[in-house]
Structure 1
Amino acid sequence: MASRAIIFHGTGGRPDAVWYPWLDRRLTERGWSVERPSYPRLNEEPIATFLPQVLESHTFDTDTVLVGHSGGAALILAVLEQLDVTVAQAVLVAGYCTQPNDEAEPVLRAEYDWNRIRSNATDFVFVNSADDPYGCDATQGRAMFDRLGGTLVVRDEGHFGDWNQPFATFPLLDRLI
């Protein structure tokens, strides 16, 4: 059973926003060690220069669960592509692997080594919304699911938290992790 989680916030986000502190508390209550790093330049700095900072800042092992929201979920794809270890689980909330809208997305790679990503996580969970206002929708979730397998959950819950969408708790994640 995994015992560590790293929760990556989304673009323009903070580790103390939306459901991140709540999930931290829920996992901590179960005896987990949880990290909620702050990456204010996430999806501003190109992934090629940003990714080494992330890889150096964390320890990844077979007891690690990676949870990412939006740009943080896209970051997890790049992280998994570089690891030399298989993590227990990767949970991508409002994740995407291709340009979801007209905004610049420096967190994305032009191409991914899907086989390598697949080999570096024991389990994948994708939680996307049919009505995501930023294009991080069910189509994006299906694209990742088709390449990586795992579990795809589609809801009608917007972006699962944003500046204009309070989302203080996320019981579904507590059940899925």
Structure 2
Amino acid sequence: MPYPPPMEQRAIIFHGTDASPEVAWYPWLAGRLAARGYTVEVPHYPGLNVEPIDTFLPRVLAAHTFDRRTVLVGHSGGAALLLAILEKVAVDRAFLVAGYCTPPNTSDEPVLRSSYDWDAIRANVRDPYFINSATDPYGCDATQGRAMFDRVGGTQLIRNDGHFGDHNQTYDEFPLLDRLIA
């Protein structure tokens, strides 16, 4: 008797502030996941961390399908966006790369909420990962990762990899993240 086909897995990769789907490791990771059978979205959101989260979030939620087969990946401002998304929808796994839940520096951060429903976030993601760097130049560092990990649980990884890609840091591939999602 043949096995039923596996359920379709979906991955959505959210870029960071002032970024786009074509930079850093986003296209590389999208290609790796697609080759393994994932349906992959890497949307462009120029309003990310420009528009207040309460007006921005409803459009993001309406533009995508989220369910227990969905893997979310967010980088920097995109990782902060994942916190707001996870208050509202349930997914399989979430990877917050250079994420933060409080202002990491003196920049305005409209993507952040003043407080989060940590119980809802914990209930809505089966397996959260917080990947931060001890050497992040923007303050999206291991302390920020620990603050989220302490509230949600999951896995915290601390590297010495700067911001995991930025206009001043080439980071075209992210093998660690690829292995974790596998």
TM-score (norm: length of structure 2): 0.95
Q: Which amino acid aligns with 2:43?
A: P
Contact 2:8 2:39 in 1 (8 A): no
Unaligned runs of 5+ in 1: none
1:122 aligns with 2:95: no
1:108 aligns with 2:98: no
Contact 1:23 1:169 in 2 (8 A): yes
Over aligned residue pairs, what C-alpha RMSD do you find? Answer: 0.9
Task: Give the structure 2 partner of residue 35 of structure 1.
Answer: 41
SS of 1:6's partner is strand
SS of 2:109's partner is coil
Whose radius of gyration is greater, 1 or 2?
A: 2
Identical pairs, percent: 67
User: In structure 2, which of residues 150, 164, 179 is the aligned counterpart of residue 175 of structure 1?
Assistant: 179
State how many pairs are aligned: 175
Segment of structure 1 superposing worse, 1-10 or 108-117: 1-10
SS of 1:122's partner is strand
Contact 1:2 1:62 in 2 (8 A): no
| Aligned residue runs from structure 1 range 89-100, under 5 A | 89-100=93-104
Q: Which amino acid aligns with 2:124?
A: N
Aligned counterparts of 1:141 and 1:110: Cα–Cα separation in 2: 17
1:155 aligns with 2:159: yes
Change (3 A) 1:156 1:2: farther
User: In structure 1, which of residues 38, 63, 73 is the aligned counterpart of residue 69 of structure 2?
Assistant: 63
1:14 aligns with 2:4: no
1:78 aligns with 2:84: yes
Contact 1:130 1:155 in 2 (8 A): yes
Aligned counterparts of 2:141 and 2:169: Cα–Cα separation in 1: 16
Aligned counterparts of 2:17 and 2:114: Cα–Cα separation in 1: 18
Runs (4+) off by over 4 Å: none
1:142 aligns with 2:142: no
Aligned counterparts of 1:169 and 1:176: Cα–Cα separation in 2: 14
Unaligned runs of 5+ in 2: 1-6
